[in-house]
Amino acid sequence: MSYLMSAILGFVQGVAEFLPISSSGHLTLLQYFFGMEQPDQLFNILLHFATLLAVCLVYLQDIAEMVVEFFRFLGDLIHRRSQSGRPPEARRMILLLIVGTLPLFLVVLLKDRVEALGNYPPFVSCALLVTGAVLFFSDRMDRGHKTARSATLPDVLMVGVAQGLATVPGLSRSGCTISAGMAAGFERKFAVRFSFLLSLPAVLGATILEVKDVLEVPGGIPEGVLGKYLLGMVIAGVVGYFSIQLVNLLASKGKFGAFAYYCWAAGALSLAAYFLNFRLVPAV
């Protein structure tokens, strides 16, 4: 892998991980049509870790408040103190994120089968078309008013199911979860905020599973790749940070569905190119 390829993969990860256009779908299509080198598993882990840090940076205050409330909750349990009145928003947010993450445990059982779908470019192209439809209708939903204080457990469970479905290559995680939040009546900024905070346990869990696989492979880090890994991570993290800000801006203005046209174009063109057997590199 060259430095240029590392930079390109980092950029694609930073953009597609947060913009509702499916990072897994784009990597599949780039690899098929342009012969783009498939990143090794360790590099893939590091790119996801970099985007994880970007989410932590954007929502640092929320995360810090939840950590504090988690330890306060433990203190209440130990000292058997009862909570009077409504719980703090950060404490309730912890519960919402836990419930929203539950559907992913079912996906873990189907992990290999779901990942195998990424080997079929026509399927990924069709999934991008579906993503476009989801985004198109998201902007046409009534504006909701629910926040962390008023969202119900069924609401967040619906968002969690959407996140589980979005593990399918070509379906955008952010697009599906934000749209599901809007459908549940979430206020638009809260739908974006909840979606990205919900990604933390999901990405962290997936990273841990992949690290386990890497550790089982002998050899460690190949020589001469540390600089390339760091370059890809920095680009993925920086680009990811600004991608999150862009999604927040567009969603708040009701322009989130603008990405639908891109997904439709990308899905239709790649589908046509596949059946016309058009590739910029010879098949291997």
Q: What is the pLDDT of residues 81-110, one digit of tens each?
A: 766 667 788 989 999 999 999 998 888 788
Report how far residue 48's alpha carbon sits from residue 123's, in angstroms, rounded to the nearest whole number. Answer: 24
Closest CA to 236 of 47, 8, 39, 32: 47
Mean pLDDT of 49-68: 92
Q: What is the largest CA-CA distance in the chain?
A: 69
Which residue has better confidence, 86 or 166? 166
Q: What is the pLDDT of residues 214-236, one digit of tens each?
A: 666 555 556 667 888 899 999 99
Q: What is the pLDDT of residues 172-211, one digit of tens each?
A: 999 999 999 999 999 989 999 999 999 898 888 777 777 6
- List the structure tokens of 165: 């479905």
- What are the φ/ψ torsions at residue 146 (nearest 5 degrees)? -75, 140
- On average, the pLDDT of the chain sits at 86
pLDDT of residue 158: 95
Q: What is the pLDDT of residues 128-164, one digit of tens each?
A: 999 999 999 888 888 889 999 999 999 999 999 999 9
How is the chain split into domains, by residue range? 3-275
Sign of the dihedral through C-alpha 203, 57, 90, 251: negative
pLDDT of residue 241: 94
pLDDT of residue 102: 92
pLDDT of residue 163: 92
Report how far residue 186's alpha carbon sits from residue 202's, in angstroms, rounded to the nearest whole number. Answer: 21
Report how far residue 13's alpha carbon sits from residue 88's, in angstroms, rounded to the nearest whole number. Answer: 35
